[in-house]
């Protein structure tokens, strides 16, 4: 195996690991949002009349929004080194 093939394989494995990490984080985000919405519906029982279908839809929407924020944050951090400042204020 030559050096280029090994580097290409390592890059592909890094992308696969990043994708699987994003899927795991999204699953935890869904569980978090579902638990929070169920708790809110219990605490606000007299004010917020909701069904489990509505809570499920809201949890999916919040998970998608959180996932987009997570992925964009990961992309931003991969391009910038920590501690490196840019701009005129140094």
The single-letter DSSP state of residue 80 is S
Burial class (CB in 10 A: 0-12, 13-18, 19+), 49: exposed
Separation CA 21–CA 5 (nearest Å): 24
Residue 6 has what pLDDT? 72
In the predicted model, is pLDDT for residue 12 greater than 70?
yes
Q: How confident is the model at residue 90 (pLDDT cuts 50, 70, 90)?
A: very low
Q: What is the pLDDT of residues 17-76, one digit of tens each?
A: 888 988 999 999 999 999 999 999 999 888 888 889 999 999 999 999 999 999 888 888
Residue 46 has what pLDDT? 85
In the predicted model, is pLDDT for residue 88 greater than 70?
no
Contact between residue 63 and residue 30 where contact means Cβ atoms under 8 Å apart: yes
Contact between residue 41 and residue 48 where contact means Cβ atoms under 8 Å apart: yes
């Amino acid at each position: 195996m030559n050096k280029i093939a090994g580097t290409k394989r390592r890059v592909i494995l890094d992308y696969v690991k990043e994708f699987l990490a994003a899927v795991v984080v999204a699953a935890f985000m869904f569980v978090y949002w579902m638990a929070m919405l169920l708790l809110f519906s219990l605490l606000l029982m007299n004010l917020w009349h909701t069904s489990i279908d509505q809570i499920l839809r809201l949890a999916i929407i919040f998970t998608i929004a959180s996932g987009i924020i997570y992925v964009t944050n990961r992309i931003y951090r991969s391009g910038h080194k920590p501690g490196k400042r840019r701009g005129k204020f140094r």
